[in-house]
A and B are shown apart, each in its own frame.
Chain A
Amino acid sequence: MMNVDEVATMVEVEEEPAKRKKIVPGKTVNSSKWRAIWEKIIEIFFFLCASTAVISVIVITIYIFAQGTPAILKIGPLKFVLGKLWRPEAEIFGVLPMIIGSIYATLGAIIIGVPIGIFTAIFLSELAPGWLIKIVRPAVELLAGIPSVIYGFFGLVIIVPLIEDKLNVSAGNSLLAASIILGIMILPTVVSISEAAIRAVPQSYKEGSLAMGASHIQTIFKVILPAARSGILAAVVLGIGRAVGETMAVILVAGNAPMMPKALTGPIRTLTANIAIEMGYAYGLHREALFGSGVILFIFIMMLNIILNVSTYKAGE
């Protein structure tokens, strides 16, 4: 790219005016003072830009809670969180079915996505020959880039009919379909972060284990994976975050009946789907209750974030 000579000439050109000013000593002091102030102003500007993230988080938290908590308090926090019925037309608002739905769908996604993801990460970092890495890694990256609505669409036209066919159920829009789609969707997150964690394990661990006579696979599972566990944990937590927060893909495949999930092939409605489906026409307490489900979702995500931060912080030490 750019070599040092080029850099040097660029800087020289920039410094010419300063040389000229040196003829008048008083002015130099003045201009350098101004320059210092200018630099300080710019630094403060950069700092303000950096604090945008902090401000955004604070404002988002405040507004979501401000809109959601009144309804929760009006309905009664316990009644809202533990209520098993969601009947907006009768003003009965219990989000437990949606909470359970979100948890089940996420669990399903983890069961499907995490083992495949970690194995793929192992493949990429330890086993794959170079030419295969060149195929698998871009594939994982592309998987991460595909819009969620396309996953939902794919699930609706492929996975749902497949479930209807193979398992002989009338409607394939189900917990199972949602778990499969979410499992695929968390794959790239799990793969890329686990792979980075595995690659970060010092080479000497591996060499030591191999020198003691352990096979490559034994080394991977007994030495490398345990050493990379905090990174892999972070990968799983991020995957959970993605699965909990996913909306459109889940709506298209999950059936969305607001009742307690009963079977693997039965319909579920997640917290996110609850908001997205009903927000369009809701008003009054119903609308506020939807913001209430948003608050529950937000609390979930914040807890995940804190877990993630604590675990990566520990790993950094």
Chain B
Amino acid sequence: MYLLIRQVNNVNMRKTIDHLLNCKMLGKFFSKFSMRKTIDHLLTTCIWISSFVTVGVLAWILLHVLLNGIGHINWEFLSTAAKGHEGGILPMIVSTVAVVLVAVGISTPIGVCAAIYLVEYAKPGKVVRAIRFATETLAGIPSIIYGMFGMIFFVNLLKLGFSILAGAVTLSIMVLPTIVRTTEEALKAVPIGFKEGSLALGASKLRTISRVILPSAIPGILAAIILSIGRIVGETAALYFTAGTVPRMPTAIMDSARTLSVHLYLLVYEGISFEKAYATATVLVVVVALINFMANRMVMVFKKH
């Protein structure tokens, strides 16, 4: 009898212990689960806040510049030359356009041909790797180094002086990676069927490229050009040392010129006029936003293939 009771007791005890253990595990499980939930919530909140910050900062910059600048923009500001604290930004607009045209004019043919070589001709190997490494390196070199190089090489050594041409040539090297990469993407996006069809019909490789592949890659090439224009319009450091800072209307390609970004920098750095700075910044922001919008449109077109 005694033995039996002990056994029952034992069983009971074992059950109790098991039960206790179970509870503990379950508790642990539950606490772990809720902690996991807390961490999940915390991280999700962080992610949302970060994205909000990213968009918020952009909105803040844009609104601040636009709200303070829009009131100072009028026809006179856009259509006259600067005279100290007075006057507008017409010479800077003209200089910016000139630099953009020359730089893009130099860079586009070279960049597009380079992309054609990389996509259509090059065989994987050391040469291609060297070209890709060089393109990456060019993309990574800071604009001030381009400025220094431009000053040493184009301004002094080739005796171009501080001029639109010197600035534009320097920038054409700077935007080369943008053009090569974006064009490459566009060329790769051309359906292989186009190429095969053309080759099968007996067209030579060159003819296939010039009549079939390039025409279908035009939106991508345009996107490359527009992106480059955006970079050139926003560039300051490289132009400061190559195109100079003369705020006059340029009359020739060898004239020194001041682009919009350089103008804004000088207005702010020398504390000339914050009103003019806001107005100039507004013009720049609007131009950049438009360029961005157009580039996006173009990329969408060539991705649709």
Contacts and interface: CB of A to CB of B under 8 A. Distances in A.
A136 interface: yes
A276 B212 contact: no
B64 A245 contact: no
Interface in B166-214: 173, 176-177, 180, 193-194, 197-198, 201-208, 211-212
Contact of B201 (A11, A46, A246): A11
A34 to B, nearest CB: 12
A298 B269 contact: no
A124 B264 CA distance: 33
Nearest to B122: A50
B3 interface: no
Given A52-B114, A60-B145, A122 B47 contact: yes
B130 A54 contact: yes
Interface string A45-56: 111011111101
A3 to B, nearest CB: 9
Contacts of A117: 50, 54
B236 A217 contact: no
Contacts of B207: 11, 14
B145 A64 contact: yes
B140 A7 contact: no
Nearest to A272: B144
Given A14-B211, A35-B204, A245-B141, A143 B152 contact: no
Interface residues of B, number: 101
B130 to A, nearest CB: 6
Contact of A146 (B46, B136, B147, B288): B288
A12 interface: yes
Nearest to B231: A145
Interface stretch (B13-21, B36-44, B75-83): B36-44
B246 interface: no
Among all A-B residue pairs, the 8 with the closest Cβ atoms: A245-B142, A147-B234, A119-B50, A49-B113, A46-B117, A50-B114, A53-B134, A50-B117
Interface of B: 36-37, 39-40, 43-44, 46-51, 53-55, 57-62, 64-65, 109-111, 113-114, 116-118, 120-122, 130-131, 133-138, 140-149, 151-153, 157, 173, 176-177, 180, 193-194, 197-198, 201-208, 211-212, 215-216, 230, 233-237, 240-241, 261, 264-265, 268-269, 274, 277, 281, 284-285, 288-289, 291-292, 296, 304-305
26 contacts: A4-B194, A8-B201, A11-B207, A14-B207, A15-B201, A43-B117, A46-B114, A46-B120, A47-B121, A49-B113, A49-B117, A50-B114, A59-B149, A60-B141, A63-B157, A119-B46, A120-B51, A132-B51, A145-B291, A147-B264, A147-B288, A152-B265, A248-B240, A272-B142, A279-B148, A302-B137
Interface of A: 1-2, 4, 7-8, 10-12, 14-15, 18, 35, 38-39, 42-43, 45-47, 49-54, 56-57, 59-60, 63-64, 67, 115-117, 119-120, 122-124, 127-128, 132, 135-136, 138-143, 145-154, 156-158, 184, 187, 191, 215-218, 220-221, 238, 241, 244-248, 251-252, 272, 275-276, 279, 291, 294, 297-298, 301-302, 304-305, 308-309
